[in-house]
């Protein structure tokens, strides 16, 4: 069953919390022969993958980075700190990957049981930053149009390590300096 993507609706795009049901929780270990990592303070840290019936977290894709946040059990016994959200485009199932810290005596097969209720919480500051970065790509498109350069965009990369928009076509070398000046002017007008 495909995961309901709350963020795809207009109102859902601004919804930072969602109640959901667990479809599957998988504990990930790098090597089954190795014990789960434990601290001296008698806790263990697990990598988990959670699949839910619905989510307000945006999966990575289309040049857009993943949302980050938390998934908390309805009893608030367990919290997964989610650092990556992916979607299987073939079946529509979203997987939330992250870490859980447990008391070393806790049974790992009991965390986030199937059909249990959870709360999905998006990191709002990160969502806003990524949203603004994505919007900046559209501002660049608008500035290009104001400069009468209607080159079709072919790729957007909206990650914070170096966002950009690629276009099909080129601008003649002799025209670039004037174009860049006009583009900066148009961009300043849009922002």
**pLDDT tens for residues 43-88?**
778 899 999 999 999 999 888 899 999 999 998 888 999 999 999 9
Residue 119 CB partners (closer than 8 Å, separation 6+): 17, 18, 19, 20, 71, 72, 74
CA distances to 52, 83, 125, 188 from 4, rounded to whole Å, are 9, 20, 23, 39
- Read off the pLDDT of residues 114-160 as tens digits, 9 standing for 90 and up: 999 999 999 999 999 998 999 988 888 888 888 888 889 899 999 99
Alpha-helical runs (H) found in the chain: 124-146, 176-190
Structure tokens at 61: 């894709």
Is pLDDT at 97 greater than 90 in this prediction? yes
Pick from 80, 31, 89: which is nearest to 60 by CA?
89
On whether the pTM is more than 0.85, the answer is no
């Amino acid at each position: 069953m495909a995961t309901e993507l709350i963020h795809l609706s207009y109102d859902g795009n601004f919804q930072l919390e969602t109640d959901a049901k667990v479809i599957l929780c998988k504990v990930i270990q790098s090597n089954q022969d190795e014990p789960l990592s434990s601290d001296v303070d008698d806790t263990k840290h697990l990598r988990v993958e959670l699949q839910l019936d619905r989510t307000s977290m945006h999966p990575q894709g289309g040049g857009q980075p993943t949302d980050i946040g938390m998934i908390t059990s309805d009893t608030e016994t367990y919290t997964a700190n989610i650092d990556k959200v992916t979607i299987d485009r073939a079946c529509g199932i979203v997987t939330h990957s992250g870490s859980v810290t447990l008391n070393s005596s806790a049974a790992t097969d009991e965390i986030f049981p199937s059909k249990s209720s959870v709360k999905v919480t998006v990191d709002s500051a990160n969502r806003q930053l990524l949203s603004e970065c994505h919007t900046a790509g559209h501002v660049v498109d608008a500035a290009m149009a104001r400069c009468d350069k209607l080159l079709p965009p072919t790729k957007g990369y909206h990650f914070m390590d170096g966002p950009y928009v690629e276009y099909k076509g080129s601008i003649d070398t002799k025209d670039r300096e004037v174009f860049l000046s006009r583009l900066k002017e148009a961009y300043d007008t849009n922002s």
